[in-house]
């Protein structure tokens, strides 16, 4: 094998894993289904919780440049990992081109390495999985992060769900005169904290929302958590329901929530980024976990302990004790140093 580490997913976690792997001399192949790395970052206009940057496009550009400097990493864009198999001595990743025409690799190609970092992140939830929504069949409901600021300025927007993109949009566009009517289920209440003080936002906790037949304006009847019946009217409606983990099939182990905690994985499989847990889904934690996963693979290749802690994955579940970094008494020197 001429590859030490396979990395599935080209977001902040996967790219951080590639850079960290290169820093300790590991040869890696990064597999990304999009036509660029960090594609989601490029749609985030304001970043307020990552050191050194203030917006997603600049961060994505910086990450892309860092990755380009990693001679030990080969990036495979436009490739989707469909299955991951883990064995005693290796992992194998089945890869298919997203657009087969013109691809240099045919369908059914398999990449092999001693270890794999899986950082495929999460995908948006559709309305079919939201039991509190009715009357959505056949209705065009784009995700909120696709909203054109010019198209919503001065209008009333019905937002279905209180997930984080709402706060991102509000922070990125303080100049908008948009009225956001946010209908959300009780379990989303904790997500409303960051936008609760925005005067443009009206929060409506609901047990059920049913759209009336397609019309302009958008009209929906709701039953609130207090049992009140209300009619919400808006010019436009957008989905903002949250996300679900999106691991490849095969050896990646999921818990009952669908997420893939690091401690549950095969010894040759390391998970990183948003895929790990329903909590801790932030850019900074994704990058840290990607670097940690790559170091885990490096330590494993040296026969050293790899456990560094875990994450709670069940909503409301107790925190998991962190055991701290592996102790390397008498072990080989670590080229990563103290970084």
Q: What is the rounded distance in angstroms from the CA atom of residue 233 to the CA atom of residue 163? A: 21
In the predicted structure, residue 331 carries a pLDDT above the cut 50: no
% pLDDT > 90, the chain: 72
Torsion of CA 301, 284, 280, 243, to 10 degrees: -100
Sign of the Cα torsion 267, 273, 275, 279 reads: positive
Considering the domain delimited by 5-124+243-301, tell me its CATH architecture: 3-Layer(bba) Sandwich (3.50)
Taking 3-state DSSP, the helix, strand and coil percentages for the chain, each rounded to the nearest 5, stand at 25, 25, 50
Residue 217 preceded by cis peptide, ω within 30: yes
Q: What is the rounded distance in angstroms from the CA atom of residue 199 to the CA atom of residue 121? A: 32
Q: What is the DSSP letter of 117?
A: E
In the predicted structure, residue 106 carries a pLDDT above the cut 60: no
Within this chain, domains 5-124+243-301 and 130-239 share the same CATH topology: yes
User: What is the predicted pLDDT for the residue at 250?
Assistant: 96
**DSSP letters along 219-283, please?**
EEEEEETTS-EEEEEESEEEE---EEE-PPEES----TTS---GGGS-TTEEE-GGGG-SS--SH
Q: What is the rounded distance in angstroms from the CA atom of residue 320 to the CA atom of residue 310? A: 6
Mean pLDDT of 103-123: 84
Q: What is the pLDDT of residues 279-303, one digit of tens each?
A: 888 999 999 999 999 999 999 999 9
Confidence class for position 311, pLDDT limits 50, 70, 90? low
First to last CA, the chain: 28
User: What is the predicted pLDDT for the residue at 38?
Assistant: 97
User: What is the predicted pLDDT for the residue at 264?
Assistant: 95
In the predicted structure, residue 6 carries a pLDDT above the cut 50: yes
Mean pLDDT of 174-198: 94
Confidence class for position 315, pLDDT limits 50, 70, 90? very low
User: What is the predicted pLDDT for the residue at 339?
Assistant: 40
In the predicted structure, residue 317 carries a pLDDT above the cut 50: no
Mean pLDDT of 44-72: 94
Q: What is the pLDDT of residues 225-245, one digit of tens each?
A: 999 999 999 999 999 998 899
Write down the mean pLDDT value for the chain.
Answer: 88
**249 beta partners:** 83
Of 148, 183, 142, nearest to 163 by C-alpha is 183
Confidence class for position 329, pLDDT limits 50, 70, 90? very low
Q: Structural domain boundaries of the chain?
A: 5-124+243-301, 130-239
CATH number of 130-239: 3.50.50.60
């Amino acid at each position: 094998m001429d590859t030490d580490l396979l990395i599935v997913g080209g977001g902040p976690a996967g790219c951080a894993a590639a850079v960290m792997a290169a820093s300790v001399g590991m040869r890696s192949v990064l597999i990304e289904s999009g036509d660029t790395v960090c594609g989601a970052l490029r749609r985030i206009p304001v970043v307020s919780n990552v050191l050194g940057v203030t917006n997603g496009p600049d961060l994505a550009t910086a990450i892309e440049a860092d990755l380009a400097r990693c001679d030990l990493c080969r990036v495979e864009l436009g490739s989707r990992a469909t299955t991951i198999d883990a064995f005693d001595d290796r992992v194998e990743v089945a890869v298919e081109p997203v657009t087969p025409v013109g691809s240099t690799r045919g369908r059914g190609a398999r990449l092999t390495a001693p270890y794999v970092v899986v950082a495929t992140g999460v995908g948006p939830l559709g309305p079919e999985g939201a039991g509190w929504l009715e009357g959505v069949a056949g209705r065009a409901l784009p995700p909120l992060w696709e909203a054109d600021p010019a198209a919503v300025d001065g209008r009333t927007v019905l937002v279905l769900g209180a997930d984080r993109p709402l706060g991102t949009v509000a922070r990125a566009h303080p100049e908008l005169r948009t009225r956001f009517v946010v209908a959300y289920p009780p379990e989303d209440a904790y997500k409303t904290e960051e936008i609760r003080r925005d005067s443009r936002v009206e929060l409506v906790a609901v047990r059920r929302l049913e759209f009336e037949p397609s019309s302009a304006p958008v009209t929906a009847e709701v039953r609130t958590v207090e049992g009140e019946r209300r009619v919400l009217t808006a010019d436009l409606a957008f989905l903002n329901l949250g996300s679900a983990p999106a691991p490849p099939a095969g050896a990646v182990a999921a818990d009952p929530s669908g997420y893939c905690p690091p401690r549950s994985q095969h010894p040759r499989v390391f998970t990183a980024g948003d895929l790990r847990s329903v909590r801790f889904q932030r850019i900074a934690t994704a990058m840290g976990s990607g670097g940690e996963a790559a170091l885990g693979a490096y330590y494993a290749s040296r026969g050293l302990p790899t456990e560094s802690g875990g994450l709670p994955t069940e909503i409301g579940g107790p925190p998991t004790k962190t055991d701290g970094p592996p102790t390397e008494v008498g072990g080989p020197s670590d080229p990563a140093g103290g970084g």
